[in-house]
Amino acid sequence: PLSPAPKTVSLRCQLIFLGLTSINNKIKEFENLSVEINKAMNIVKKCTGCANQPSTQGCPDCPVINHLNNIQLLNLIWDTD
């Protein structure tokens, strides 16, 4: 059997490399998301047992308030009104 032309092999290697690069980028995104989720969870755990409503008005001294700018995920679960 004839071996593939060097140009064909090179193109296949480039496609494989692009796929691997894409996978590695997704892994980094998921790792960053995991860190963000863990940070949010650790902050929210501090609210265990608190009877106040999770908002700036309901709990003005809540530890979540200090992290709203740093941990974007908290903005999805916190009422800033």
How does pLDDT run across 32-60, given as a tens digit for each residue? 999 999 999 999 999 899 999 888 888 88
The answer on pLDDT for 81 being more than 80 is no
**Separation CA 45–CA 39 (nearest Å):** 10
Q: Residues with Cβ < 8 Å from 64, sequence gap 6 or more?
A: 43, 44, 46, 47, 54, 74, 78
User: Residues with Cβ < 8 Å from 47, sequence gap 6 or more?
Assistant: 54, 59, 62, 63, 64
DSSP state of 71: -
For residues 71 and 43, the answer to whether their CB atoms sit within 8 Å is: yes
